[in-house]
Structure 1
Amino acid sequence: MEAPKYQSLKDHVYNYIVAKIQDGALLPNQKINEAEICKTLDISRTPTREALFQLTNDNLLEYIPRRGFIVNPFDAKKKLDVSQIIGTLDALAASLAIPYLEQSDLSEMIKLAKKIDAHIEKRDFAEYYTDQYRFHEIYILRCNNPTLIETINLLKNSFIRQSYRSDDKEKMAEVLKEVNGEHHQIIECFQTKDKDRLDSLLKYHWRIIDSEML
């Protein structure tokens, strides 16, 4: 597997491990197999270790001497705390993005919201995750505040990783229909440049994900 040209090797390993945590391939308290990662990504031990220590600094992993790196558990209270912070920062990014969003951005968001409706009907929650992440990413990247973007992405890496895993697919589908309804409302707020409604909607949007799914 070749690392993308725009990423450092450390970043490539970092993002690979984050993705494995998010999709449930790596579970809380599971030990990281460094040798396997190096072999899979065809990357040497040095950037792999750099990525692992960065993940430790970002609280996604814990380093235990003589045992290695394990995936940090994420308790319900911390999920609630983080979701409230994400909601506030996401709302700020949305407000800042209003003057910078182009019609092509709004068109893409409309397209994604419709795709998400189809994913929910098919109970395809993995595809839901991918497209909802992209939906929010469109306006976040337009906020013109690199520090805010970096902070939101860091928090989402740890929070969203366990948000779409449920044994009750029908309940999950019901919740996600409500959440995607909010995506459609978010688009309307951007179209009308309704900053106040957008702010309150996004803060509620993240709280409802935590209270209903986790």
Structure 2
Amino acid sequence: MRLITPSLAPQSLHDEVAASLRSRIFGGELAPGSFIDEAALCESLKISRTPLREALKVLTAEGLVRHEPRRGCFVNEVTAQDLDEIFPVIALLEGRCAFEAARRASDADLAALETLHERLTRHAKARRINDYYEANHLIHEAIITLANNRWLAQVIGDLRKILKLARLQQLHAPGRLEQSLSEHLAVFAALKARDSEGAEAAMRTHLTRQREALRELARNQPSRLAS
């Protein structure tokens, strides 16, 4: 990982430090529950404490880091209760995005989405789960963009960071890959029909079933998060 360049403006520097720490957290270098050694990070990034602490405030606000008085900062751990609370919220928010997308999408937008869904289908049939995750992410991002609501996009982005922290792999649950594809196609069918309410309901179902798949996966693999 490259060193942070301290010659940048203070605002830019702490943003860059925050991005570097996010990368370390999501990459597993800073594991959930681990202590964040400020002195060691300042040494490795070649920065002072000030931009690091500003960056930690940003990550604390995002829910990736927690601060404990007189102890310091730790990488947050996502609990089963957190997932039970987050999934209904993100289902509502992404459902609203699908509602708005169905009203706003142009023919060109739908053609682009169709290409993405064709890619998703190919990956599902070939059981290329990592590629499926990537196509799935692009589809969700496209629908959020079509909704054209920056507040929805911002809150969904923050919640997704928390879910990413949990390192969830719901597609490994038995039958989940096929079910997920069917759900995506249902959302897309509603979008093509300009059925706002149908698209919203289908997207909410899709997100809700993700949580159900994680519970099933946890029952079979107790180390996974469950209810």
| Alignment TM-score, normalising by the size of structure 1 | 0.78
Paired residues for 1:55-70 under 5 Å: 55-65=59-69, 67-70=71-74
Contact 2:24–2:30 (CA under 8 A) maintained in structure 1: yes
Q: Which has the larger radius of gyration?
A: 2
Deviation at 1:121, TM superposition (A): 5.3
Aligned pairs, number: 207
1:166-181 to 2 correspondences below 5 Å: 171-172=172-173, 174-181=175-182
- Which of 146, 149, 152 is the equivalent residue of 1:142? 146
| RMSD, matched Cα | 3.2
Letter in 1 for 2:175: E
Taking a change above 3 Å as real, the CA distance of residues 182 and 12 of structure 1, as seen in their structure-2 partners, is farther
Instruction: Give the whole-Å Cα distance in 2 for the aligned partners of 1:61 and 1:146.
Output: 24
Q: What is the distance in 2 between the residues matched to 1:26 and 1:64?
A: 17
* Cα distance in 2 between the residues matched to 1:44 and 1:126: 38
Seq. identity, %: 27
CA drift at 1:209: 0.5
Give a deviation string over 1:25-47, Cα, whole Å, max 9, x none. 5432023355458846x776544
Distance 1:33 1:59 in 2: 18
Q: Could you say if the C-alpha distance between residues 183 and 10 of structure 1 is closer, same or farther in structure 2, counting changes exceeding 3 Å?
A: farther
Partner of 2:224: none
Alignment partner of 1:98: what SS?
helix
3-state SS of 2:147 partner: coil
Deviation at 1:122, TM superposition (A): 5.7
Moved more, 148-157 or 119-128: 119-128
**Residue of structure 1 in register with 2:214 after alignment:** 213
Q: Helix, strand or coil: the match of 1:141?
A: helix
Tell me which moved more, 76-85 or 29-38: 29-38
Deviation string, structure 1 residues 38-74 (Cα, Å, up to 9, x no partner): 846x776544432221111222211234543212111
SS at match of 2:74: strand
Q: Which amino acid aligns with 1:208?
A: R
> Are the equivalent residues in 2 in contact too, given 1:121–1:173 (CA < 8 A)?
no
What per-residue deviation string (whole Å, max 9, x for no partner) do you get for residues 101-136 of structure 1?
Answer: 233432333333333344445655444333322211
User: Given the superposition, is the C-alpha separation of residues 69 and 182 from structure 1 closer, same or farther in structure 2, using an over 3 Å criterion?
Assistant: same
The answer to whether the Cα contact below 8 Å between 1:38 and 1:48 also exists between their aligned partners in 2 is no
1:182 and 2:183 aligned: yes
